[in-house]
Structure 1
Amino acid sequence: MSITAAAPAISIPAPVAGKGYWRLVGERLARDKVTLVVAAILLAVILVAIFAPLITAHDPYVGRVANRLKPIGTPNHWLGTDEVGRDLWTRLAYGSRLTLLTGVTPVIVATLIGATLGIVAGIGGRVVNTLVMRTMDVFYAFPSVLLAIAICGVLGSGVRNMILSLTIVFIPPVVRVSESVTTQVRSLDFVEAARATGASLAMVIRHQVIANVLSPILVYATSLVSLSIILAAGLSFLGLGVAPPNAEWGSMLNALRQSIYVNPVNAALPGLVILITSMAFNLMSDGLRSAMDVRLPR
């Protein structure tokens, strides 16, 4: 499995008009019912992660073996219990914290680093472009999953090392997208006009380039969050990420897999919330792409 970095098409052929553009994006998002639904789902997940201590009644790390694998609907355990008798709702609520942390943080860091390198490569000339892009091509020689596993295997398990490995995996595709859209924007008329008026390279990058490459990069980064959540859960499932007894959906899925023949519903719950959350981020990315694909009147 490797990450493909298809560059979004540039849809704004003139300098971004700040408030006018973002107001139009907001209006289109407000009319997109699917995006509003998935936004509500993601907001709910974030609120659960923030207020987990207030909306749960059990300790996420303490259970009773006598209560192990209780089914959904059990009194005081409405989502049942896990393999050692811990409340599943509590574990899922607390697990959303580490899942979101390990899913969103690598994408944010990779986007900041990758976008910077991509813009530099796209506007810095042939030598700089070749140096940056050929370095990124080295990482494409390895499938993203194997690269993340290899890095975690070398550095060791743990949240910090997992975030670092996923950040390294996501930087090359972000660089490729950033370089591609920067190259497209660089050749547009308004950039050439700014150069003709004597604007410095720094001013051109700040006022013309960044304003117009931000939207495609943001859309692509949003699409990476779902993949990051899945990869992080997979690393934890393999024992290379979050270690038990810490609550995290991937490690919970690994711990409950032994119980699939005893209580398959409970065993599938962590996988189900991973699926729902990753799909929500994917659909949110699609909604942002559609909303940002607008052309301002000249």
Structure 2
Amino acid sequence: MNLSIVRRSMCITASFDTGVYAIVTLMIFMAVVGPVIAPASVYFSDIGAALMPPSTAHWFGTDDQGRDVLWRVVAGSRATLLSAMLIVTAYSLIGVAVATLATVGPRWLDEMLMRITDIGLALPGLVVALGFAAALGPSLQSAIVAKAITGWPITARLLRGIMRQTMTAQFVVGAQAMGVSRWRLMTRHVLPNSLDILVVKWAGDIGSAVLVLAGMSFIGVGAQPPSAEWGAMIANAKGYVANAWWVVAAPGAAIALAAVGFGLLGDILQVRRDPSLRGR
């Protein structure tokens, strides 16, 4: 009986993981090929077809300019998802650099970098990012830069702690006893054995970055109309919610699906990294 329950649980878990992988794969596929396969009509107005409800011709209806909402969501996936990946990659690299210097450098450098990191952690990251984006000028590029330069402190603090712990491992201590330099230890042993948690965090953070990008575009400091970025689509359609709910439902569902999919992917990778979490 217990074995049957275990097998059933494993099947459910495998099906769940497969579903998450399918969502993430679909999102990445849309981001890569979406703008290529989208018809040219999604970039041009057709006022005669404005705000048409969902139908066989337009599965998710049309927006206030007569553009197909479904194809707009597909075409805008690159702006949203690849931008989110770029943000997470950028601040992850900054965090790795800060953590590496803090771990391998002299004590005074470690203290200075960690105090700067603490200041960054103490400040409200989203508010600071909004300020940077507004100062740089409302655009998707400004939103990317603003979030990238304010998102690194958590990564730096987390990775520095892991690197410090790895430095005390027996294989590292043995290499030190053999006269291996600290920089060689870092590049050959410590850093490669500390990056697995960064991969987990990178995957999970993409969902959060999608939400932040969409929010910044919605309030006007991110992507600007007529961009098909999902947050900008919702901002452009917020005046039509009462009469044309589908105009905001489609990009909103895409944002939710991306956030949940990448967030769950991070959880799955975390469980695979630490098997002790299974069953919790």
TM-score, normalization by structure 1: 0.84
Q: Does 1:274 align with 2:255?
A: yes
How far has the Cα of 1:294 moved from its partner?
5.2
In 1, distance between residues paired with 2:15 and 2:181?
44
**Matching residue within 175, 199, 207 for 1:226:** 207
How far has the Cα of 1:159 moved from its partner?
2.1
CA contact (8 A) 1:50 1:97 kept: yes
CA contact (8 A) 1:32 1:287 kept: no
Partner of 2:183: 202
Partner of 1:122: 103
| Residue identity matched to 2:46 | R
Q: Does 1:262 align with 2:222?
A: no
In 1, distance between residues paired with 2:176 and 2:39?
62
In 2, distance between residues paired with 1:227 and 1:53?
23
List runs of 5+ in structure 1 lacking aligned partners: 1-27
In 1, distance between residues paired with 2:164 and 2:15?
34
Partner of 1:175: 156
How far has the Cα of 1:269 moved from its partner?
1.5
How far has the Cα of 1:53 moved from its partner?
4.7
Q: Does 1:216 align with 2:197?
A: yes
- CA deviations 1:131-158 (Å, max 9, x no partner) are 1111122222321210111101111111
| Residue identity matched to 2:111 | T
In 2, distance between residues paired with 1:33 and 1:115?
34
CA contact (8 A) 1:103 1:228 kept: yes
| Residue identity matched to 1:236 | S
Query: How many percent identity over aligned positions?
Result: 29
**Matching residue within 72, 92, 99 for 2:54:** 72
| Residue identity matched to 1:146 | V
Q: Does 1:113 align with 2:101?
A: no
CA contact (8 A) 1:148 1:169 kept: yes
In 1, distance between residues paired with 2:226 and 2:38?
18
In 1, distance between residues paired with 2:106 and 2:193?
19
**Matching residue within 25, 29, 34 for 2:16:** 34
Q: Does 1:149 align with 2:130?
A: yes
Partner of 1:137: 118
- CA deviations 1:90-134 (Å, max 9, x no partner) are 110111010012211011111112112112212324212111111
CA contact (8 A) 1:59 1:90 kept: no
In 2, distance between residues paired with 1:41 and 1:55?
19
**Matching residue within 223, 243, 248 for 1:242:** 223
CA contact (8 A) 2:104 2:182 kept: no
In 1, distance between residues paired with 2:165 and 2:258?
33
Q: Aligned pair in 2 of structure 1 residues 61, 54: CA closer, same or farther (>3 Å)?
A: closer
- CA deviations 1:222-270 (Å, max 9, x no partner) are 2211111111111111111111001100000111111110022332221
In 2, distance between residues paired with 1:220 and 1:55?
31
CA contact (8 A) 1:229 1:278 kept: yes
In 1, distance between residues paired with 2:90 and 2:60?
35
CA contact (8 A) 2:167 2:190 kept: yes
Q: Secondary structure at the match of 1:164?
A: helix
| Larger relative contact order (Cα-Cα within 8 Å, sequence gap ≥ 6) | 1
- CA deviations 1:12-45 (Å, max 9, x no partner) are xxxxxxxxxxxxxxxx9xx843233222112112
**Matching residue within 174, 177, 198 for 1:193:** 174
In 2, distance between residues paired with 1:43 and 1:232?
20
CA contact (8 A) 1:121 1:133 kept: yes
Aligned residues, how many?
265
In 1, distance between residues paired with 2:168 and 2:263?
31
